Amino acid sequence: MVENVRELLKLHEGIKHEVYLDNENSSVVPIHVLNAMLPYYNKKAYGNPTLTHKPGWEAFTAIMESSQKISAFIGAQVLEEVTFVPGETEANNLALVGAALAARDKGKKIVISEIEPLSIMNVTTDLMKKYGYTTTKVPVNSEGILDLEKLKESIDKETVLVSVALVNNEIGVIQPIKEIVEIIKDKNPSTLFHTDASDAYGRVPFNVHNLRVDMATISSYKISGPRGVGALYTREGVNVEKILEGQIGTQKLWPGIENTPLIVGFTKASELMFDNFEANVNHMRTMRDKLVDGIFAKVGDVKFNGPKGDKRAPDNANISFLRCEGEALTIELSLSGVYVSSGSACSRRLLQPSHVLIAIGRRYSEAHGSILMKVTPYHTEEDITHVLTVLPTAVERIRKIVGSTGVD
């Protein structure tokens, strides 16, 4: 199988300009971040931060400094409120499973939105179901904004936890978190609120303390940091159980030896986002708008998924290309050096459309032709121009294969 993939890669030889827009699924790590990480592998702080020697104490200091910086970026008040974990999936698992189990005597009901990322969706519908918890999914409107009336109705005295992502990972919709928290706490003050803020962090300003959220997930690679690290914020006093057991480290909620270089890299990537926050956001918005406007000007039969303007994160573009199958388009674009992902994934018999696009009322064929693109502060005008040169041709070729088949 890997032979085939090698052959596929050979077809990409000679590509002169590459543009990576699949920042939903991984990212290019900028050199400043790599340079910040490198010494932590072999020059300093390579020890276990719980141990009594210089490399251990150095590691301890590095982790505490990182913790301090990230706390400041998200508005955490106490250092211990930030737990470094291997990523968004782990943070979401820790938040949902850990908080729900800790509150098991109060009830077994969880509430989420219909458009949560899969690390929320699958944890509640599969894992928590095994523990006897039930999950209510609150619908969203055509822009992806949570139905607050339905949210209110769904909470009762047995609801232990609500989780709604601050920014949706697929359509970039920004939820009214402040109102959501008020509704929840009014209805049941002991219900905990978690938000997956991975797609907000570094792009949409928020302050966990002011928003009164109990738990929040952030992830490194979503801001061009290294993969394999993220963090969970847990407000002081919120009861969360550990979900893994092992060697006790510096962090109460996550066992094992801390990954200092990754934590340092995550912090450096965060600094690069936050130190020039306004400029970065403006740049991303400009690049994203240029991309979207260009596509709408050059390609017909396209639909924009999710809200526009202030209700949307500045980096996110999600477009359905009608009469165009998504996977075929991703391959075609890859052969021209443009890397994106499609909203659908092939299962054994059927293409599974994105649950987010279906929840906002998109048809299956619209979901299958959807492409998700996320820009970063590191994309240039030239990158976007390149995409706009390549993409119309790619769509045209795939549409030629489609002809009038599948046009409904």
Partner 1 sequence: MSRTPLPYNPKVLDLFRNPKNLGKMEDATVMAVAGNPACGDMVTFFLKISDQEIIEKATFESYGCAANIATSSIVTEMIKGLTLKSAWEDITWTKVTAEVGGLPTIKFHCGVLAVGALKRAIRLFYEKKGTAPTWLPKDHTFEEKQALEEEELARRLSKRLNTGEEK
Instruction: List interacting residues with partner 1 (CB under 8 A).
Output: 1-2, 4-5, 7-8, 11, 139, 141-142, 323, 325, 327-328, 331, 335, 344-351, 353, 358, 360-361, 363-365, 368, 400-408
Catalytic annotation, residues: 346
Closest distance to partner 1 from the beta carbon of 362 (Å): 9
Closest distance to partner 1 from the beta carbon of 156 (Å): 23
- Closer residue to partner 1 (CB): 205 or 361: 361
Question: How far is Cα 200 from Cα 204, in angstroms, rounded to an integer?
Answer: 5
- Closer residue to partner 1 (CB): 90 or 325: 325
Pairing of strands 109-113, 134-138: parallel
Closest distance to partner 1 from the beta carbon of 116 (Å): 18
Closest distance to partner 1 from the beta carbon of 350 (Å): 5
Q: Using alpha carbons, select from 137, 335, 359, 5 the residue that is nearest to residue 343.
A: 359
- Closer residue to partner 1 (CB): 140 or 262: 140
The answer to whether 169 touches 116, Cβ cutoff 8 Å, is: no
Strand order of the β-sheet with 341-342 is: 302-304, 316-321, 370-374, 341-342
- Closer residue to partner 1 (CB): 123 or 200: 123
- Closer residue to partner 1 (CB): 3 or 105: 3
**Helix, strand, coil percent content, the chain, rounded in steps of 5:** 45, 15, 40
Closest distance to partner 1 from the beta carbon of 48 (Å): 32
Question: How far is Cα 202 from Cα 60, in angstroms, rounded to an integer?
Answer: 25
Question: How far is Cα 381 from Cα 383, in angstroms, rounded to an integer?
Answer: 5
Q: Could you tell me the CA-to-CA distances from 374 to 289, 358, 403 in Å, in that order?
A: 11, 20, 29
The answer to whether 376 touches 284, Cβ cutoff 8 Å, is: yes
Angle at 338 between CA 314 and CA 310, to 5 degrees: 10
Virtual CA dihedral for 288, 294, 295, 296, nearest 10 degrees?
110
- Closer residue to partner 1 (CB): 78 or 407: 407
Residue with tokens 């020039």: 276
Closest distance to partner 1 from the beta carbon of 198 (Å): 20
3-state secondary structure of 321: strand
Closest distance to partner 1 from the beta carbon of 327 (Å): 4
Question: How far is Cα 49 from Cα 295, in angstroms, rounded to an integer?
Answer: 50
- Closer residue to partner 1 (CB): 139 or 246: 139
Residue/partner pairs of 322-327 with CB below 8 Å, 24 or more apart: 322/365, 322/366, 322/369, 323/369, 323/399, 323/402, 323/406, 323/407, 324/369, 324/395, 324/398, 324/399, 324/402, 325/368, 325/369, 325/398, 325/402, 325/406, 326/368, 326/369, 326/370, 326/371, 327/351
> What is the SS3 assignment for 227-262?
CCCEEEEECCCCCCCCCCCCCCCCCCCCCCCCCHHH
| Gyration radius (Cα) of the chain, Å | 22
- Closer residue to partner 1 (CB): 1 or 31: 1
Closest distance to partner 1 from the beta carbon of 402 (Å): 5
The neighbour count for residue 137, using CB atoms within 10 Å, is 19
